[in-house]
Chains A and B, each alone.
Chain A
Amino acid sequence: MNTRTIQLYPLWLDYLLFALLIGLFPVAVLLSLYYPNVILEQGLSHRIFYFHVSVAWVALYAPAFSSLFGILYIIRRDPNWDTLSYSMSKLSLIFSILVLFSGPIWAYSAWGTPWDWTDARLQSFFILVVSLLSYFVFRSLITDLNKKAMYSSFLSVLCALNALLTWGAIRWIENPGNHPGSVLGKGGMDKDMKETFWINVLAYHILFLVLFLVIYRKDKLDAKLVQVREEMDN
C-alpha cells in the first residue's frame, strides 16, 4: 500500500504554544477582572478595555499578514501561500467581530449608547468587517481554484487597506468622535493598568497564534483532501 506522510508543523512548537496559552490566558483574564483599579465613572464595565483593545490590535494587523501572504502567492504562485492568507483572513474576521461585540458593551456604559455613528473608529471597523465578509462571499463564489487564489490575494490587499484606514481613523480625521485615543500615547495608564494591559496583549497574541495554527492546519488538510480525491478520480 502506498503511504505518504505530511509533516505540517514541528511538535515542540505546539507544546510550547499550548503551554503558554493554558498558563497565561487564565492569568490574563483573572488579572483584568480583579487586579487594576477601574475608572470610577465607568465602573466595572471598564475592565472590558483589556479584552477589547487586545483583540482590536490583532484584528488590525491580521489583515496585513493576510495581504502579505496574498502578495507572496501572486509572486510565487504556490497554493500554500493562498491557504495561509485565507486562514489569516478567517482570524481577522473572528477578531474584528469580537471587537464589534465588545465595543458596544463598553460604549453603553461609557457613552450611554452602544453605537455612535459619528465615531470614526467604530464606522471604520464596521467597514473592515463588511469588507472581510465580502472577501469570503466572493471567494466562495469562484469555482476555478487558481482564480480564487489570485482574486482573494487582491481582495486581501484591499482589506488590509481598510484595516490601515481603521487604524488611522482616530489620527487622521478631524472630530473622530468620542473614541479614546491611542493607549500608547503619553501619560497613558497607571502602573497596574499598564501591567494588566500588556499581559492581556501577550495572552491574546498567543491565542491568535494558536488559533492560526489550528485554522491553517485544517485548511491545509482540506486542500490536501481535495487534491487526493481529484488524483484518485483521475
Chain B
Amino acid sequence: MFKYLLLKEFQLIGRAKNGLLSLISLLMAFLFIFHYSLENSGKLDVNSIVGLKWAGIFLLAFILISQVTYEERESGAYRITRLYIPSHLEFLAKSFVLFLLLFFVEIFLLLLLFLFFENLHFESENLFGQFLYFIPGTLSLSFLGVTLSQMSFATRLKEVVLPILLIPLSIPVLIAGMEAERKYFSKGEVNTSSLIVLFAFSVLYLSLGLLLREVGED
C-alpha cells in the first residue's frame, strides 16, 4: 500500500504543470537576477548567499505544496484516498516525497550558488555546512507545508491562502537555519544547539501535522 502511495506522490509532483524542469528554470532565473543585480556591484558575502539559498528553498517548497494541494483537492481524489489509507501514512508519504524532491533540488541550487557567487567556494567544509542545517530545516518546511495544505482545503480561497499561513509560520525555521549556518561559517564549528532547535521544529510540525490529520477530518 505504501509503495503505491509513494509512487502516486512522485507521479503527481513529476506530472505537475510546473514539473521538475520548470522548477529548475525558475530557480536559475531567480538566482541569475540576484547575481546580475547584486554580484556585479559588490560581491555578496556568505551570509547573504545563505539567505538567498533559504529563500530559494522556501519559494520551491511553496510552489510544490500549492501544486500538490490543488491536485488533491481538484477532483475529490483526496477523499477517496482517505477511505483506504490511514491519515498518518498519507501525511508521511506526502511529506517524505516533498522533502526528497526539495533535497535534490537543493543540490542543484547549491551548484548554481557556487557558479553565480564568488564568495561561496566549492569546498568540502562548505558543502558539509550547507547540508547540515538544511536537512532538518527542509524537513520542517515539508511537514509544515503538508499540514497547512490540509487546512487550506477548508477555506474559500484554497491554495491561495497558503502563503498567508506559510510565510509567518516558516520564518522561525528559516531564521533558525540561517542563524545556525551563519555561526558555522563564522566559527567553523558545528553548533549542536542550533541542530537541536531545527530538529525540534521538525518534531513539532510532524506532531502537529499528524494530530491535525486525526482531529481535523470532515
Contact = CB atoms under 8 A, between A and B. Distances in A.
Within the complex, are A and B direct neighbours (CB within 8 Å)? Answer: yes
A131 B168 contact: yes
A138 B165 contact: yes
Interface string A202-231: 000000000000000000000000000000
B161 A141 contact: yes
A162 B147 CA distance: 17
A151 B216 contact: yes
Contacts of B175: 123-124
Contacts of B161: 137-138, 141
A38 interface: no
B86 interface: no
Interface residues of B, number: 22
Contact of A162 (B164, B165, B172, B204): B172
B57 to A, nearest CB: 18
A157 B207 CA distance: 12
Interface string B121-162: 000000000000000000000000001000100111100010
Place the interface of chain A in its size category: 20 to 34
A143 interface: yes
A131 B169 contact: yes
Interface string A142-174: 111001101100110110011001000000011
Interface of B: 147, 151, 154-157, 161, 164-165, 167-169, 171-172, 175, 179, 183, 204, 208, 212, 215-216
3 closest Cβ contacts across the A-B interface? A131-B168, A141-B155, A130-B168
